[in-house]
Amino acid sequence: YWVGMKVAGFTLLAVFLVLVSLEGVASHGVQPLSRISIHKAVVTLDDRAYVKASPPVLGLSGQNAEWLTIELSSPNPSIEDWIGVFSPANFSSSTCLPDNPRTTPPLLCTAPIKYQYANYTSPAYKDTGKGSLRLQLINQRSDFSFALFTGGLLNPKLVAVSNIVAFANPNAPVYPRLAQGKTWNEMTVTWTSGYGINEAEPFVEWGQEGEEKKRSPAGTLTFDRSSMCGVYKDFSVESAPARTVGWRDPGFIHTSFLKELWPNSMYSYKLGHKLSNGTCIWSQVYNFKSSPYPGQNSLQRVVIFGDMGKDEADGSNEYNNFQRGSLNTTREIVRDLKNIDIVFHIGDICYANGYLSQWDQFTSQIEPIAKTVPYMIASGNHERDWPGTGSFYGNLDSGGECGVLAQSMFYVPAENRAKFWYSTDYGMFRFCIADTEHDWREGSEQYRFIEHCLASVDRQKQPWLIFLAHRVLGYSSGSYYVDEGSFAEPMGRESLQKLWQKYKVDIAMYGHVHNYERTCPIYQNVCTDNEKHYYKGTLNGTIHVVAGGGGASLSYFAPIQTLWSIYRDYDYGFVKLTAFDHSNLLFEYKKSRDGGVYDSFRISRDYRDILACTVDSCPSMTLAS
């Protein structure tokens, strides 16, 4: 497979064979909404059945999430009956694409934004035909309706449709997400609304507490169905959900750049849209703390994880416990938020897999975090991969999104947001974020970026050098990497370990494998230090960490113990780094179930320890004196 891949380069066939074998064992990454055969749905409305939703107007106090009650009744109940939540409420066949190649078009062309079995909280439903459900809706720019289907998810028959429910202002600015700008003293705010540039001017009103507020304009992005990848092919496998049943209008995505911030200062901000008649629509007021000056000596705390996904607080969309853990991870990070300065979610963001409604739901879930601290993302297979689109891997994991959602919904300080590699500084940290869904091998554009990022940091000021990427480029005992015999993505270490070693990267962290694992400091498969918890002086290698247990269903370890694997955990969790000063770093692994620390180590050293020459890390010295 190794040789085949190298020789065959990127012919789809080779890549497909590889990925099919990988995904078979690795991924439970089936988007729950994809289990609904919406194109097979038929309309068999029954006057005796009903679905009633209340209250009819949501968010009357300005909130963007609200619980509501569904009452339902069917004359022919079955345990397979389910309720689909549709938004927009009008989900008739008139929304089918005009170029639908089928001779008889399907009756429904959009997937629901969520679903739940009719009996979920009414076990007697199958006998009485009466039931009720509590569902949570978030503001997603459109109205909602609730449809009762019989025939299960595979042969859905529409029996009844509810009244329409809507948020008081469906266009309201929602789900602010902060990200570091291109320089240390710039914070970016990205949010979603239903206001296009011809309806209202988006801006952020902000300032330090107690001082006069200023307004900064925001840019506006959106995209249409034609920006999605994949073909429209009679709902066969190649027909991407993003372009067919999963498509949903993304609304408008705004980003404002708050510049010339003072280091480590508290700011407040609110989102605004100025309508043409002069009225402003406002969000709530939020707060953040600006970034420290690069090299500044102050307490700095970073949280890192991958593969979190999202889940529904009301229990809907449940399939195989797919992303149940994400709620715990979110809860524990929110609980500790006062002690966190910045968060990195290193790929596999929400597993929308082409069902676009899920991105709003994800940004709603992480809102308490992302509105308060920079939420930096990396690109993963579930954001980017699609055959024939230039992704390094030619699988179907993005459901046709081919990176468009990730690079529009979240700001990253990349030169080109479609090429998801970037560097960012946070005080004494330098982070180099790679994009494993694009070529990273020597000679590639990305390889040059990685080397530049690692080489351009002044380690006396920023001693803590961290490399982040989605797929494991270093070391993992995850069963599918072990089955391959490479313990990582083929061509990962081979291409990059000389850079990690030369530039003395302290920690390299990955997701993709849904568990936790930490290695010794290592170079070329050999531990360079046998200590496990307290590293003094030079590391002589890089510590590799898999932190892919953010919330999507867990991945197995292979039943082997390598010399380099120090700690493994088959559970949900995340990593926290605390830099106390230029000489002391604490690494902690916390479980998402209780926020407790289950693995940790410290590094204590001086600048001279970073300069010290070890194997392959210094050029040879001149003999002249």
Ligand X SMILES: *[C@@H]1O[C@H](CO)[C@@H](O)[C@H](O)[C@H]1NC(C)=O
Nearer to ligand X, 52 or 593 (CB): 593
- The sheet with strand 130-138 has its strands ordered as 50-54, 65-73, 130-138
What is the rounded CA–CA span in Å between residue 477 and residue 194? 45
Total residues at interface with ligand X (CB under 6 A): 24
Q: How far is the CB of 528 from ligand X (least distance, A)?
A: 6
Min CB(556)–ligand X separation in Å: 16
Choice between 438 and 504, CB closer to ligand X: 504
The correct pick among 529, 586, 602, 604 for binding ligand X (CB under 6 A) is 529
Measured from the CB atom, the residue of 222 and 614 that comes closer to ligand X is 614
The answer, yes or no, to whether the previous bond of 88 is cis (omega within 30 of 0) is yes
Show the DSSP H helices in 271-396 as ranges.
Answer: 325-335, 357-365, 367-370, 381-384
E strands present in 529-583: 534-536, 542-547, 565-569, 573-579
Least distance in Å: CB of 527 to ligand X?
A: 9
Q: Which is nearer to ligand X, 37 or 614 (CB)?
A: 614
Residue 105 parent element (H or E): none
Considering the rule CB under 6 A, would residue 313 count as an interface residue with ligand X?
Answer: no
Start-to-end Cα distance in the chain: 51
Tokens of 476: 């993992």
Q: Which of 27, 74, 110, 119 binds ligand X (CB under 6 A)?
A: 119
Least distance in Å: CB of 103 to ligand X? Answer: 21
* Least distance from ligand X to the Cβ atom of residue 278, Å: 6
Tabulate helix, strand, coil % of the chain (nearest 5).
20, 30, 50
Query: Which are the contacts of 272, defined by CB distance < 8 A and separation ≥ 6?
Result: 173, 202, 203, 204, 205, 215, 280, 281, 282, 283
Indicate the SS3 state at residue 220: strand
Q: Does 601 bind ligand X (CB under 6 A)?
A: no
Q: Quick one: tokens of 108?
A: 């429904």
State which of residues 358, 398, 476, 538 lies at the interface with ligand X (CB under 6 A): 538
**CA gap 506, 516 in Å, rounded:** 18
Nearest-approach distance from CB 490 to ligand X, in angstroms: 29
Q: How far is the CB of 360 from ligand X (least distance, A)?
A: 20
Based on the shown chain and the rule CB under 6 A, indicate whether residue 460 belongs to the binding site for ligand X: no
CA distances from 393 to 390, 397, 495, 510, 610 (A): 8, 10, 17, 17, 36
How far apart CA 562 and CA 14 sit, in angstroms, is 30
Can residue 572 be called a binding residue for ligand X (CB under 6 A)? yes
Q: In whole angstroms, how close is the CB of 285 to ligand X at the nearest point?
A: 21
**Residue 546, helix vs strand vs coil:** strand
Contact 273, 195 (CB under 8 A): yes
Q: By CB under 6 A, is residue 324 in contact with ligand X?
A: yes
Distance from C-alpha of 9 to C-alpha of 394, rounded to nearest angstrom: 11
Establish if 45 lies at the interface with ligand X (CB under 6 A).
no
Q: Which of 145, 190, 195 lies closest to 170 in space, CA to CA?
A: 195
CA torsion 177-182-186-191 (nearest 10°) is -20
Number of other residues whose CB lies within 10 A of the CB of residue 296:
16
- Stretches 35-43, 320-328, 362-370, 392-400: which one binds ligand X (CB under 6 A)? 320-328
Alpha-carbon distances of 342 from 177, 305, 589, rounded to whole Å:
12, 12, 16
Q: How far apart are CA 405 and CA 383, in angstroms?
A: 7
Contact segment (CB under 6 A) with ligand X among 226-234, 324-332, 509-517, 560-568 equals 324-332
Cα(564)–Cα(109) distance, rounded to whole angstroms? 51
- Of 316 and 328, the one with the shorter C-beta distance to ligand X is 328
Using CB under 6 A as the binding rule, whether residue 562 contacts ligand X is answered as no
Give the CB-side neighbour count of residue 77, counting CA atoms within 13 A: 19
x/- letters, 268..307, toward ligand X (CB under 6 A): -------x-x-x----------------------------
> How far is CA 514 from each of CA 12, 323, 326, 492, rounded to the nearest angstrom?
26, 11, 12, 18
Least separation in angstroms between CB 239 and ligand X:
21
Give the span between the Cα atoms of 606 and 453, in whole angstroms.
22
Q: What is the footprint of ligand X within residues 159-188 (CB under 6 A)?
A: none
Residue 480: CB atoms within 10 Å: 19
Token output for 240: 């991407």
Binding mask 463-502 for ligand X (x = CB under 6 A): ----------------------------------------
Q: Which amino acid is at 461?
A: K
Q: Which is nearer to ligand X, 5 or 30 (CB)?
A: 30
Among 21, 37, 63, 90, binds ligand X (CB under 6 A): 90
Largest alpha-carbon pair distance within the chain?
97
* Least distance from ligand X to the Cβ atom of residue 572, Å: 5
Q: Which of these ranges, 68-76, 118-126, 229-237, 337-345, lies near ligand X under the rule CB under 6 A?
A: 118-126
Nearest to 523 by CA among 537, 506, 548, 546: 506
62 near ligand X, judged by CB under 6 A: no
Instruction: Tell me if 80 contacts ligand X by CB under 6 A.
Output: yes
Q: Closest approach of Cβ 82 to ligand X, in Å?
A: 7
Nearer to ligand X, 394 or 551 (CB): 551
Separation of alpha carbons 345 and 364, rounded Å: 15
Specify the residue, 143 or 451, whose C-beta has the smaller distance to ligand X. Answer: 143
Determine if 519 is a binding residue for ligand X (CB under 6 A).
no
Shortest reach from residue 119's CB to ligand X, in Å? 4
Single residue of 54, 92, 284, 287 touching ligand X by CB under 6 A: 92
Instruction: Pick the stretch among 66-74, 86-94, 99-107, 482-490 that binds ligand X (CB under 6 A).
Output: 86-94
Instruction: For the CB of residue 320, give the shortest distance to ligand X in the complex, in Å.
Output: 12
Region near ligand X per CB under 6 A, out of 92-100, 216-224, 380-388, 471-479: 92-100
Should residue 199 be labelled a site residue for ligand X when binding is judged by CB under 6 A? no
Nearer to ligand X, 231 or 613 (CB): 613
Under the phi-then-psi rule, with left for phi > 0, alpha for psi from -120 to 50, and beta for the rest, what region is 230? left
Q: Which of 3, 24, 94, 103 binds ligand X (CB under 6 A)?
A: 94
Q: Minimum Å distance from CB 415 to ligand X? A: 36
Taking CB under 6 A as the binding criterion, the range among 88-96, 140-148, 185-193, 557-565 that sits at the site for ligand X is 88-96
Binder of ligand X out of 4, 55, 75, 123 (CB under 6 A): 123
Q: Which of 246, 250, 325, 549 binds ligand X (CB under 6 A)?
A: 325
User: Which residues contact ligand X (rule: CB under 6 A)?
Assistant: 79-80, 90, 92, 94-95, 117, 119, 123, 126, 275, 277, 279, 324-325, 328, 528-529, 538, 540, 572, 593, 614-615
